Amino acid sequence: MNASSAHRSLQRSPWTLAALEAVTAWGLLAVAAFLLGLAQWFWMQGEDVRLSAVPGNAATLVAAAFGLPVALPSGTFSLFSPVLALLPALVLYRAARRTAEALTHNALRAGAALWPVPAAAGTLVAVSLLVLAGAGALAGAFTDPEPLTASRAAIVVVVAVTLGMAARLPHLGAAPTPREIVRGSLGDRLGEDLAATLGSGLRSARDIAAGVLLLAVVVTGGALWAGWAGVVEIQSAYEAGAAGVAAMTALQALFFTVPLAWATAWMTGAGFTVGEGTRYHLLDVTTGPLPAIPALAALPQGEQPWGWAGPVLLLVAGAVLAWRRLRGEPGRYWAVAALTVALFLGGAFWSLLGSGSLGPGRLAEVGSPFWLAGLTLAVPPGLGAVTVLAVHDRRTRIQDGWERLGSSAGERREQVREALRQKLG
């Protein structure tokens, strides 16, 4: 087989194309992690860091980037950092785009089937998860398995690959865009009106989620402002100098989704824990010994006077959006169901990004239960929307009843008048 026929053979196989791209992507990431491990060994040779530990350290870095539980001297650590995961996610995204671009030259021509796209995407995901499992095993990530954090890593991989494939899909010959595929499939199965209504529900969920995230940023900033004295006190205790303070601040900033997820759980009423025996809730705060991490000085120290303001705001938001967008839509209760399910899934995944382990013993579990975080984010808006729509439907039925009653009474009067005319005429 010559080079050109081999090239054509590769072009005809989406599995082979995707596997080669996945191996290339993970090879680049492995080289980068290994070079970082070498740099660490070179920098810390005098501190009993062996050259043989470099592969394990590189695997630990890869596993930690996806939030897998890794075994460190201080215990198991499994908090997710979007900053650390950004480079691997971008590399996987690029691999998916390159795979989709390669498919433009073979199977996906005008009128061709779309099966190579999910086949290639599935291959990229499968190879990536196998590599992650190997890195996790080498890093000791599965000595104390945490299925939820493993699923969190899988979701990051799936999202990166899906976005990469979808980014090139509109350019694959005459292939429809992702939006056209979704709208077409929904329209065929549900009807255009119901598909549009479900879209309204999902847009409402997106707007509520954006508002909650903005409030979480404000709450986190306010908590840091209120607890700044404690933050400075802990930083000063390390006596690390300006460079050490900057490094410590940068290290904490790598995990910025963790305080935002905690703030969201705080506002919605799910609450969160920072180790066994602690509870941070709007109406119940139980504190305990905490690790000497400066940012933890911003945690609330007592109950807040505004209590259930967060759930009430969510209830009002769902009611307002239902009144503005959904009350005139056919199948509007399906839109509320779409809103509720989307918020539940989004809230559960957001909680996973802020959950994990900070160390051994009582710090083995921090964050909020994912199912509770999803429910507290989804139920109030759904309840508000259902209440408004039920009241609107009830009022509409009453108005229709009065109109029918008035119409029938008018017809009856006309009949009586006509009968009197005939009798007197």
Instruction: Read off the pLDDT band of 9 (50, 70, 90).
Output: very low
| 415 vs 10 pLDDT, higher one | 415
Average pLDDT over residues 23-49: 77
223 & 324 share domain = yes
Between 244 and 273, name the one with better pLDDT: 273
What one-character-per-residue DSSP string does 176-224 give? PPHHHHHHHHHHHHH-HHHHHHHHHHHHHHHHHHHHHHHHHHHHHHHHH
pLDDT at 76 over 60: yes
SS3 350: helix
Residues 87 and 216 in one domain: no
For 219-227, what is the mean pLDDT?
90
- Sequence-distant (6+) residues with CB within 8 A of 240 are 247, 248
Q: Distance between CA 382 and CA 314 in Å, rounded?
A: 9
Among 357, 377, 376, 359, residue whose Cα is nearest residue 367: 357
Read off the pTM.
Answer: 0.80
Task: Give the integer Cα–Cα distance in Å for 412 and 418.
Answer: 10
How many domains, the chain? 2
> What is the Cα 291 distance to its own chain's centre?
27
The answer to whether residue 418 is domain-embedded is: no
pLDDT of 6 reads 42
Confidence of residue 182 (pLDDT cuts 50, 70, 90): low
Please tell me whether residues 205 and 130 are part of one structural domain. Answer: no
For residue 405, being part of any structural domain is answered with no
46 membership: H or E segment, kind and range: none
User: Which pLDDT does position 106 carry in this prediction?
Assistant: 56
For residue 224, give its domain range.
Answer: 192-390
Residues 386 and 248 in one domain: yes
- Same domain? For 212 and 157 the reply is no
Residue 180 counted as domain residue: no
- Does residue 208 sit in the same domain as residue 330? yes
Mean pLDDT, range 86-98, rounded to an integer: 90
> What's residue 142's pLDDT?
57
Domain for residue 21, yes or no? yes
Q: Mapped to the 3 state alphabet, what secondary structure does 95-126 carry?
A: HHHHHHHHHCCCCCCCCCCCCHHHHHHHHHHH
Report CA-CA distances (Å) from 409 to 159, 396, 400: 62, 20, 14
**In the chain, what's the furthest Cα-to-Cα distance?**
122
Asked whether residue 239 falls in the same domain as residue 338, the answer is yes
Name the nearest CA neighbour of 354 among 284, 255, 266.
255
Do 95 and 146 share a domain, yes or no? yes
Instruction: Provide mean pLDDT across the span 119-126.
Output: 90
What pLDDT, on a 0 to 100 scale, did the predictor assign at position 301? 77
Judge whether 40 lies within some domain: yes
Best-predicted range by mean pLDDT (61-75, 204-218, 305-319): 204-218
Local confidence band at 157 (pLDDT 50, 70, 90 cut-offs): very high
- Express as a percent the part of the chain with pLDDT over 90: 21
Question: Which secondary-structure segment (H or E) carries 326?
Answer: none
User: 93 with 161, same domain?
Assistant: yes
- Tens of pLDDT, residues 355-382: 888 877 677 788 898 999 999 999 999 9
The DSSP letter of residue 47 is G
Tell me, yes or no, whether 396 lies in a domain: no
| Same domain as 212, residue 342 | yes
Q: How far apart are CA 269 and CA 377, in angstroms?
A: 8
pLDDT above 60: residue 60: yes
Residues 363, 360: Cα–Cα separation, whole Å: 6
Residue 34 has a pLDDT of 84
Say what the pLDDT of residue 258 is.
92
The verdict on residue 199 lying in a domain is: yes
Domain boundary pick from 147, 175, 203: 175
Statement to judge: residues 146 and 83 lie in one domain: yes
Same domain, 204 and 303: yes
Residue 332 lies in a domain: yes
